Structure 1
Amino acid sequence: MSDTFALKYKINMKYFFSFLIVLTSAIGFSQGRFDDVEIKSEKLSENVYVLFGAGGNIGVSVGEDGVFVIDDQFAPLSEKILAKIKTLSDKPLKFLVNTHWHGDHAGGNENMAKAGATIIAHNNVKTRLLNPRRDGSNNPKEALPVITFKEQLYITINGEPVGVFHVANAHTDGDAMLYFTESNILHTGDTYFKGRYPYIDLNSGGSVNGYIEAVKRGFILVDDGTKIIPGHGTIANKEDYRAFLKMLETLKANISQAIAEGKTEDEVKADESLTKEYDDLGYGSGFINSERIRVTFYQSLKGK
């Protein structure tokens, strides 16, 4: 490994770990504050609910076959999440799908497995969960997916087939979307942040082009009656999703033009005009601000 490459690697990893710290604090979920988090539910169809808490939105299907869950937020919230699910169904927990590997979506895996769930995820999610954690420890066996897939699979539960399909190199390299075929509900994981700039994890295989393609692929399933569960944010509809795609394509065009003009990363980072249209709409008010999204787009489109 060359000295230059090693330096860049250290800088990138430092940026990534710093981001995780900022992400946790920005959402307001420090370890000591999980006691204040309330898990709330919203009914979307006869048998599908969404749970809001601290972290990624959780999808829940209930019925005679048992409980099917999408994502599980942070480990300290598992008891609250399971208690909320008990208010929706007294059936056993059967399956859990991780939309990707990040801790605000898969942090409760071990607890959910111990509660009876069989964990399902893309191959790359398992690969990343097998890597040592930040503190050097390893995820326990119970936290790992038992069933993995490469492209897609179908799970028939509680009266409807649920399509689970991989979208490549979007938010990460292991993203999955899920579509409830009878309920007409799409769970996007973090390939969609409603009304906010997304976090595109370049260090985990994410990319701007892959992210845009993921949204376009999701659009194939969306009609005027579709209810969309974003990774973060309230329930969305087709027009919300369309606005998000337009934002991504606008930023890509603006920053691609800046790159073509020879602008440096620092110049793009400082150029508020590139994102002003969406900054004014509040897209940068989340944990990815306008400066950070410009840097992410620049680095991804530049191939850095």
Structure 2
Amino acid sequence: MVAKLQDKSWLVNNKLEITSKIEQGLLPHAMLLLGSHLAGQEELGNWLSGLLLCEHSKTLTEPCGQCKSCSLVKAQTHPDLVTIDNSEKTIGVESVRSAGAFLQKTAQLAKNKAVVIFSAENMTESAANALLKTLEEPTSNSYLILVCNDIEMLLPTIVSRCSVVKINPPTGEELANMVSDKGLINDFSNLNELAELTDPKCQEQRAEVIEQLTVFLEQFVNGNELVNLLANNIHGMRWLTNSFNQLIRIQSGWQDSLINHEMNQLSGRYSTEQLWQCINLLNQATKQIKLLTQANKTFTIEALLVDIEHILTTD
């Protein structure tokens, strides 16, 4: 299904920029690697931490893979590397405090020390505040690498203290060439959809959400099933909002551009005014959800679907 997605050749420019700073001794203490889901920020974070610890990093643009440090990094046992990877779960304050204390110590094996925080947007408020202290008191030869999918969920004070590296995957025809199912591509496809366009598992998850959403918009009988899907998938709310946006676009004369979109079958069911009201609710709920715990997230989505049903069943 995916054409050379694992290669992520578009990371080359980011690597060149970073290695140039390393060669000049100008690499910042804290770096924020930012990209849409599956854009390659995780790979870039692993590459950078490996390069910083490699015994030959000053002469290479890739970790050598042969030295003792590289072997320990590969085995995830390097004493000078800490990774925090809670995936879709929250990152607690103790993990961040422990990482900050680690950076205060002297390196045991390599010249540098590195902490990589994956899905940094999942830090709790307390964890984010603890990280600020680490950012404000950097130590020599220590590097903090934040890997982020959604910069809006990070404190502005954290972002301002980091050097932001934006990852730009292919767009347009180059992106389309990576997708074997061309029916997924339309005139409105963009980088935010990289996950479902290039990852078969994500495509299946989206199809399930769209199927349940269609049933909901037709009959309003499966609210609980839809809530669970939306609450337990990091893309759920984006897919929901996108579906309503596509309905608006279809009604606005873009039906030819969206001829293969699943929402076509519902395009005449509701008025444009009703759909705009739903989109306003969705935008408000999306902002709230980014700051909520999982339990409150589920409750907010439940309330959102109740409000949407009320709007769409009221003449």
TM-score w.r.t. the length of structure 2 is: 0.28
Larger Rg: 2
Higher relative contact order (CA 8 A, sep 6+): 2
- Structure with the larger strand share: 1
- Structure with the larger helix share: 2
